[in-house]
Chain A
Amino acid sequence: MTDRATPPMKALYQQLILDHYKNPRNRGELEPDENTVEIHVRNPTCGDEIRLQLRVEDDRIEDIKFLGDGCSISQAAVSMMSTILKGKELDEAFGVARRFTGMMHGDEGAAKDPALGNLRSLAGVSKFPVRVKCALLGFEALQEAMKKSRGGRPG
């Protein structure tokens, strides 16, 4: 990190976030089969987009891939999300989504929850209200995808 950046910028743009932005994990496409679901979400005001694919077998996320275009926050968040959710039960995944959403809305307890793993590095985003929607875009796709895989049942 630099000498020029202010403390809030250093808190926002942590190395871990920049690393996931520059080297996204699980970026790519799954070969669609009867167990894969796909959701495409866009933020119309800024143009950020994410196409998320899940392969769900026996209520467990067996594989997860995404393609996306957008800011460092939206792309790092979906990349981190994908590493945490691979192999998780859907109910656990819904829980992670709820905790992360809570953290984005300033829940300090959520920001300390080990279940969020690397995603905790995004806690600083909650101080930038206009960027919160960027961080949540991937989770929006996730929740839609999980509902779809359960035939419409929410978590």
Chain B
Amino acid sequence: MPMASPATRPTPAPGPEVRTGPSGERPGGSGPELDVEAVRAHFPILHQEVNGNPLVYLDNAATSQKPLAVIEALEGFYRRDNANVHRGLHELSRRSTERYEGARGHVASWLGVEDPGEVIWTRGATEAINLVARSWGDSHLSEGDEILLTELEHHSNLVPWQMLAARTGARLRYLELDDQGELILDELPRILEGGRVRIAAISQVSNALGTLNPVAEIARQVKAHGGLVLVDGAQGAAHAPVRIPELGVDFYAFSGHKMCGPTGIGVLWARRELLEAMEPYQGGGDMIDEVHRDHSTWAQLPYKFEAGTPNISGAVGLAEAVRYLNAVGAERILAHEQRLVRRTMEALEAMPGIRLFGPSDPARRAGVVSFTMKGTHPHDIATILDSEGVAIRAGHHCAQLVMKRYGVAATARASFYLYNSDADVDRLVESLATVQEIFG
């Protein structure tokens, strides 16, 4: 591919201020509570039948659906502006670059950070975490150092650290879970007092249980002992308000597709001085300054970490998703999800043989309800629900440590988002009655 020279790149600038929906009206209505019917009108995929019933999509922790604003942004980009970026010798490349870098600036201001050069585009949270484990971990860890994880983590925030530990001889430590699905913070001082924890990698929101973790408090303690903190925001960015300065962390990773954006795009945010001191993750075009026969020099941030033609349309789509969610309001979305969680938990607690996992207080969760049904495997639950148009996830949710902690191989999981309604919860509960009738 053609090489870019830094001179053709604009300096990333903060994007436009957050605006309301395209029509000027606030999506989801202007009241304190979300107007779900208004939101649902923005999501064309929801308006279909599956197996003869209107679709009830409750698999949002796996991936979210996309609003028209995002679908149209992708289409508009490919209809009008598509070209490769950072080669600004023609009009389309200039436009494409402007939209790509504008998206970066927009995401930066949404995260509450001033320097868009700290926002690295990745394929998703998984790649962002692998980038840190490789580029920071390989050069900063050695035998005797410790990596602090939690039992709550998704495999994407476990396996890269296990691989790093195997390469460097570092040791893995774990914060454990209590019976309520909450991290046992009392253990943290004892783990940290050895002074060997170099990095803690923790999720903001559990994908398996929905637990909202006290990330800022954990970060404060870890950093007081000289460690760095990476937050896996795959669920957090989608379901909880995110202001990075308030979290007080060093690395923040998230995926676009869980928050109304396209698949294949995500972000690693990190403090500039950390990124400056890290080696590139991958080599290729766009990440170099000068290339010689035997060596190369690296481009400035953020390009040093963006080898190859990037996911330009993905960045454009993610920025549009951020605009949309921001206009709806993260606090309103979380409150709405918690209302649906409360309704679900109350209905399920009244059903015989149901076991609920995670915090009993819905205010301690984002929109996830994990459960099992006595005498019925979660896969059978999911198959029967699907036959009635209700989509849930069943399995270990890429969180086998959580499953082991609670002594189950799998759970059924209903996960909500801004477009789910009370009627969706009621359909879930009705279909669970079918499951109980079949399995008796």
Q: Which residue of A lies closest to B440 (CB)?
A: A18
- Asked if B377 CB lies within 8 Å of chain A CBs, one says yes
Interface residues of A in 99-155 (CB under 8 A from B): 128, 131, 134
What is the minimal beta-carbon distance from B412 to any residue of chain A, in angstroms?
11
What is the minimal beta-carbon distance from A149 to any residue of chain B, in angstroms?
28
- Asked if A69 CB lies within 8 Å of chain B CBs, one says yes
Q: Is the CB of A47 within 8 A of B409?
A: yes
Q: Is the CB of A1 within 8 A of B377?
A: no
Inter-chain contacts of A45 with B (CB < 8 A):
395
The winner among B387, B433, B440 for most chain A CB atoms within 10 A is: B387
What is the minimal beta-carbon distance from B407 to any residue of chain A, in angstroms?
11
Select the stretch in A5-13, A31-39, A51-59, A84-92 that faces chain B.
A5-13
Inter-chain contacts of B410 with A (CB < 8 A):
46-47
Q: Which residue of A lies closest to B381 (CB)?
A: A71
Q: Is the CB of B388 within 8 A of A2?
A: no
What is the minimal beta-carbon distance from B159 to any residue of chain A, in angstroms?
13
Inter-chain contacts of A72 with B (CB < 8 A):
376-377, 380, 439
Q: Is the CB of A9 within 8 A of B377?
A: no
Q: Which B residues have a C-beta under 8 Å from some C-beta of A?
A: 51-52, 375-380, 383-384, 387-388, 394-396, 400, 403, 409-410, 433-434, 437-440
> Could you pull out 20 A-B pairs where Cβ atoms are within 8 angstroms?
A5-B438, A6-B52, A8-B387, A9-B383, A9-B384, A12-B383, A13-B380, A18-B438, A18-B440, A45-B395, A46-B394, A47-B400, A47-B403, A47-B410, A70-B377, A71-B377, A72-B377, A72-B439, A128-B383, A131-B383
Q: Is the CB of A71 within 8 A of B380?
A: yes
In the bound complex, how far is the Cα of B394 from the Cα of A73, in angstroms? Answer: 15
How big is chain A's contact interface, by range? Answer: 20 to 34
Known contacts: A4-B434, A46-B395, A47-B403. The answer to whether A18 contacts B439 by CB under 8 A is yes
In the bound complex, how far is the Cα of B410 from the Cα of A6, in angstroms? Answer: 25
Q: Is the CB of A2 within 8 A of B409?
A: no
Q: Is the CB of B380 within 8 A of A46?
A: no
Inter-chain contacts of A6 with B (CB < 8 A):
51-52, 387-388
Inter-chain contacts of A71 with B (CB < 8 A):
377-380
In the bound complex, how far is the Cα of B400 from the Cα of A3, in angstroms? Answer: 36
Inter-chain contacts of B440 with A (CB < 8 A):
18
Q: Is the CB of B387 within 8 A of A9?
A: yes
In the bound complex, how far is the Cα of B380 from the Cα of A73, in angstroms? Answer: 8
Inter-chain contacts of A4 with B (CB < 8 A):
433-434, 437
What is the minimal beta-carbon distance from A81 to any residue of chain B, in angstroms?
18
In the bound complex, how far is the Cα of B433 from the Cα of A123, in angstroms? Answer: 25
Inter-chain contacts of A49 with B (CB < 8 A):
409
In the bound complex, how far is the Cα of B379 from the Cα of A73, in angstroms? Answer: 9
Inter-chain contacts of A3 with B (CB < 8 A):
437
**Extra A-B contacts (19), CB below 8 Å, given A6-B387, A13-B438, A128-B383:** A1-B438, A2-B434, A5-B437, A6-B388, A8-B51, A9-B434, A13-B380, A13-B384, A18-B439, A46-B410, A47-B409, A47-B410, A69-B409, A70-B377, A70-B409, A71-B377, A71-B379, A73-B379, A134-B379
In the bound complex, how far is the Cα of B394 from the Cα of A72, in angstroms? Answer: 14
Q: Is the CB of B379 within 8 A of A131?
A: yes
In the bound complex, how far is the Cα of B378 from the Cα of A71, in angstroms? Answer: 7
Inter-chain contacts of B400 with A (CB < 8 A):
47
Q: Is the CB of B51 within 8 A of A2?
A: no
Inter-chain contacts of B439 with A (CB < 8 A):
13, 18, 72
Inter-chain contacts of B379 with A (CB < 8 A):
46, 48, 70-71, 73, 131, 134
